Structure 1
Amino acid sequence: MIGSLLTWAVQRRLASIDHFRQHPHDVQQRVFQELLLKARATEWGRRYGFADAPGPHEFAQRVPVSSYEDLYPTLERVLRGEADVLWPGSVLWFAKSSGTTNARSKFIPVTHDSLHDCHYRAGRDMTATATLLYPEARVLDGKTLSLGGNHAPNPFRPDASDSRVGDVSAVIMQNLPGWAEYIRTPPLELALLDEWEEKIERVARHVLDVNVSVLAGVPTWMIVLLRRVTALAGADSITDVWPNLRLFLHGAVAFGPYRELFRQLIPGSQMNYLEIYNASEGYFALQDQPGSQDLLLLLDHGIYYEFIPAEQFEAAFPRTLTLEQVELDKNYALVISTNAGLWRYKIGDTVRFTSLAPYRIRITGRTKHFLNAFGEEVVIENADAAIAAACTATGTTVRDFTVAPIYFDATRASRGGHQWLVEFSRPPRDPARFAIVLDQTLRQLNSDYDAKRHRDLALVAPVLTIAAPGTFERWLRRKGKLGGQHKVPRLSNSREVVEEILRESDQ
């Protein structure tokens, strides 16, 4: 009965979803006006004349597009407790993630408005969509198993015990409304443990006898947990432990490489999968059609969207398009203004529209090269710094390199990893030492990578493969990309490039 009541409650959001599907431009205009109205008395609002109620075109002329690095001096003031800077009031919670070029981590404000009107509203939309698409699964009759990170005191405000920083998943779970906490497992004292090896073990033992019907989280950690639960139960598959398991809500990394492995871990036709597109900065889209890779853009969640065309990616003052101006099958960088106080913020993701009625997208990558196969968020600056440190430590020089994931092996209980294919001008006398310094430097630079590498729980040490002299040049020549501005892709979330180059190395 409780499951039926919860289903009725969350499905009340279906009418709102249909409304922004049918009236996207009106909804976005309303969100835009509400954002400016609420922030008009902040420092940012006074600086850029929000009280004048500028239209979208004038807003784009007044307010600069900002990266995290551009906005950081202002964000640091917010981190230190200043009120009414970017958004009304002071901010107590901050989502911590990697991806910045000037620090090990970046800190994104999570306001009361963004938590409730963006993250939680989108979570209800995802749940409502799942109950609509799969009514026979009765997903709210059981528990939703969610894995998240942890949070800690705000290092910028050691005197403020109520100000915290942590993974956005931990921020969300710590502040969940009662009804949402009721349907999830494990309890917070386990879900928010900061030691991942202990967390996996204790969570696995706790959920052995829980009626789990939904999984929610990053595929990387979920695989580790499912394997441990199956082993503890002495079962052939996880469906022997949780016979009512019907749905996996996944996000953060591309799911394609994991799909077959999950089919083996969760055999049977009863299992369903829905993708979400969320980040520290907000909850942007969700899959609303079974079997489709297209994601419905969420338009009434306190986020106003703009889009930078591909030819403007590197421009100092890029031209942006509103939702009404985008076209199908073109690559755009996402720019957001949000109820967390991020104004014309360039998050670094690129998307392509697959439908304009309603607006559906696919995530196409990043404006920078990146590797995020396991949630590690390694950017090109991390890779370049790691290569430089390894060269200095071993007295070597590198001619070219590329990095690709080594995905979980479906036939054995292996971990994921990275393969570094490197062509040296002067090879190292001790290749193992080179790989160790690579790994250590990445762990120092990138907190997400470091978390995945902890005790080899989700990522094993990188594998160094030395390419024969001339390998990369032969590959570029064969691709017709030798010379000019053509370069070898440094980081990739698939193995396509590295496998092609390895074939050149074997010739």
Structure 2
Amino acid sequence: MGIKSALSKPFASFVVKKINKWKYHAVEAQQKVFKTLISSAQDTAFGKDHHFSTIKNYEDFKKQVPVVDYEGLRKYIDRVVEGEENVLWKGKPLYFAKTSGTTSGVKYIPISKESMPEHIKAARNALLTYIHETGRADFVDGKMIFLQGSPEMDKKGGIYFGRLSGIVAHHVPGYLQKNRLPGYDTNCIEDWETKVDAIVEETIHEDMRLISGIPPWCQMYFDRLSAKAGGKKIKDIFQNFNLFVYGGVNYEPYRAKIEETIGRRVDSIETYPASEGFIAYQDSQTEKGLLLLADAGIFYEFIPTEEYFNESPTRLSLGEIELDKNYAIVLNTSAGLWGYSIGDTVKFISKNPYKILVTGRIKHYISAFGEHVIGEEVEYALLTVAKEEGLEVTEFTVAPQVNPEEGELPYHEWFVEFVKAPADMEEFRLKVDQQLQKKNIYYSDLIEGKVLQPLKISMLQPHAFINMMKAEGKLGGQNKVPRLTNDRDLADKLQKYLL
């Protein structure tokens, strides 16, 4: 055991004790965060416009601050981007996290001197809680890799901006810098395929112990490593690799293929970071769910998903939520985002402590006929049957077919890239359809009522999704394939990759 791993264990114990002080008192922690946020922003332009000085409680807040997306805050964010101070939060932001949106184009998400440390602390604590629970700290003595965006930044209004993962790279603690790969120059490569090849060259002979990134792009890294090493499994290339840290998408659709490529199962930690704030992380290897960070400068609100598009949806604080119900998550942050809907949906599976599952995107659903099928449901249906039959799925997405051939009923079309395809596709698709009916009663009613016919599966060529993303200029980085779309745009793009 090296000195770093030896020291990490008592430090992990110390940090976990601090976490436990708010972990089992999350509602009280949220009340403190709420008061601090309102008090700190009273004299900002937004605070004055929304009468923060008169807000005494959450009910007052809901009356005065609407739920918005980026466009709803844009007039304020544009002022911040132009260099104005005290607009959404006191002073100026430290950074803007640059993201791309489908309706707003490039988005500039402010990160303040108060919110930046929370991103770093949450990532650190995810690892420390793992060390404390398992006693496994050897990864600290080896090399670690974080597949991420470029750390290069530009300036707007005198404020640096770049991808969140690139910004965070500048704040990696000094004691980890020597362990961290790839190097700065490699990280700055913009073309994803060129970058992955460079990372392979830089890491293939190193003692990699922790690997982190979005699962499909880590799979691409693993595939190229294996090819470079003459087909070896990752466990034979990195014999001490024992911890996989991921976020951005549900790991389960990718788990079987990634573990087959690795050659054995490795521990994994799921994280839920967003440009707007670090929301949750997996704090146990034996319990499901992600610990909601109730003491991290974010006051959370939750809207029942079935009400999200209503004119006046119900808004709930943490203490008002119910278990096993899907909510759209809304953030109020120490970087000056107010009533900000990030578009994600979550479900609570525990209240003591408060733990969530990320269930999808509020705009990623199919409801062409009123069925409102969501990502959690399609993942469950496909993976349940695939597991029963010993099949592996590389990637998939689902779209409605509302204009079928004459004489046919409409249906959901599933575009699936298999590692190993079903021997009997007809039997497989009907089993998946039955599982989806079990998860979604509205879909079941439409099938029973002969409004829809059972789903159809369109098999895709190997590497179809990677090739499609490449053609769209969205290969790598933080880009992800949506599980569901309510139109045929993505489905049309995939037609050229059909088997």
Give TM-score, length-normalised by structure 1.
0.72
| Aligned CA distance change for structure 1 residues 453 and 298 (closer, same or farther; 3 Å) | closer
- Using the alignment, how far apart are the partners of 2:113 and 2:227 within structure 1? 41
- Quote how far apart the aligned CAs of 1:244 are: 0.8
Paired position in structure 1 for 2:452 = none
Question: For residues 131-146 of structure 1, what are the structure 2 equivalents within 5 Å?
Answer: 131-136=131-136, 138-146=138-146
- Using the alignment, how far apart are the partners of 2:104 and 2:218 within structure 1? 31
- Quote how far apart the aligned CAs of 1:184 are: 2.0
Is 1:238–2:234 an aligned residue pair? yes
Question: For residues 46-445 of structure 1, what are the structure 2 equivalents within 5 Å?
Answer: 46-52=48-54, 54-103=56-105, 105-116=106-117, 118-136=118-136, 138-150=138-150, 153-154=153-154, 156-157=156-157, 160=158, 163-234=159-230, 236-269=232-265, 271-290=266-285, 292-369=287-364, 406-407=416-417, 409=419
- Quote how far apart the aligned CAs of 1:146 are: 0.4
- Quote how far apart the aligned CAs of 1:123 are: 0.8
- Using the alignment, how far apart are the partners of 1:196 and 1:11 within structure 2? 39
- Using the alignment, how far apart are the partners of 2:196 and 2:6 within structure 1? 31
User: Where does the alignment leave 5 or more consecutive residues of structure 1 unmatched?
Assistant: 385-398, 412-438, 463-486, 496-507
- Using the alignment, how far apart are the partners of 1:459 and 1:328 within structure 2? 28
Deviates more, 1:123-132 or 1:292-301: 292-301
| Aligned CA distance change for structure 1 residues 368 and 491 (closer, same or farther; 3 Å) | farther
- Quote how far apart the aligned CAs of 1:450 are: 2.3
What secondary structure sits across from 2:136 in the alignment? Answer: helix
What secondary structure sits across from 2:61 in the alignment? Answer: helix
Question: For residues 11-30 of structure 1, what are the structure 2 equivalents within 5 Å?
Answer: 11-30=13-32
Q: Are the counterparts in 1 of residues 41 and 52 from structure 2 also a CA contact under 8 Å?
A: yes
Q: Are the counterparts in 1 of residues 210 and 245 from structure 2 also a CA contact under 8 Å?
A: yes
- Quote how far apart the aligned CAs of 1:168 are: 1.4
Q: CA RMSD in A?
A: 3.7
| 1:403-426 alpha-carbon deviations (Å, 9 max, x no partner) | 755447379xxxxxxxxxxxxxxx
- Using the alignment, how far apart are the partners of 1:137 and 1:153 within structure 2? 33
Deviates more, 1:280-289 or 1:336-345: 280-289
- Quote how far apart the aligned CAs of 1:153 are: 5.0
| Aligned CA distance change for structure 1 residues 236 and 410 (closer, same or farther; 3 Å) | farther
Q: Are the counterparts in 2 of residues 249 and 274 from structure 1 also a CA contact under 8 Å?
A: yes
Give TM-score, length-normalised by structure 2.
0.74
- Using the alignment, how far apart are the partners of 2:298 and 2:182 within structure 1? 31
- Quote how far apart the aligned CAs of 1:231 are: 2.5
Q: Are the counterparts in 2 of residues 257 and 407 from structure 1 also a CA contact under 8 Å?
A: no
Paired position in structure 1 for 2:463 = none
Q: Are the counterparts in 2 of residues 218 and 253 from structure 1 also a CA contact under 8 Å?
A: yes
Deviates more, 1:311-320 or 1:65-74: 311-320
- Using the alignment, how far apart are the partners of 1:358 and 1:187 within structure 2? 38
Paired position in structure 2 for 1:468 = none
| Aligned CA distance change for structure 1 residues 18 and 106 (closer, same or farther; 3 Å) | same
- Using the alignment, how far apart are the partners of 1:248 and 1:23 within structure 2? 30
| 1:428-458 alpha-carbon deviations (Å, 9 max, x no partner) | xxxxxxxxxxx99x999xxxx623189xxx9
Letter in 2 for 1:28: Q
- Using the alignment, how far apart are the partners of 1:63 and 1:379 within structure 2? 36
| Aligned CA distance change for structure 1 residues 182 and 343 (closer, same or farther; 3 Å) | farther
- Quote how far apart the aligned CAs of 1:293 are: 4.1
- Quote how far apart the aligned CAs of 1:155 are: 7.1
| Aligned CA distance change for structure 1 residues 492 and 301 (closer, same or farther; 3 Å) | farther
- Using the alignment, how far apart are the partners of 2:418 and 2:153 within structure 1? 34
Q: Are the counterparts in 2 of residues 174 and 188 from structure 1 also a CA contact under 8 Å?
A: no
What secondary structure sits across from 1:148 in the alignment? Answer: coil
| Aligned CA distance change for structure 1 residues 153 and 289 (closer, same or farther; 3 Å) | closer
| Identical residues among aligned pairs (%) | 33
Q: Are the counterparts in 1 of residues 120 and 171 from structure 2 also a CA contact under 8 Å?
A: no
Letter in 1 for 2:166: A
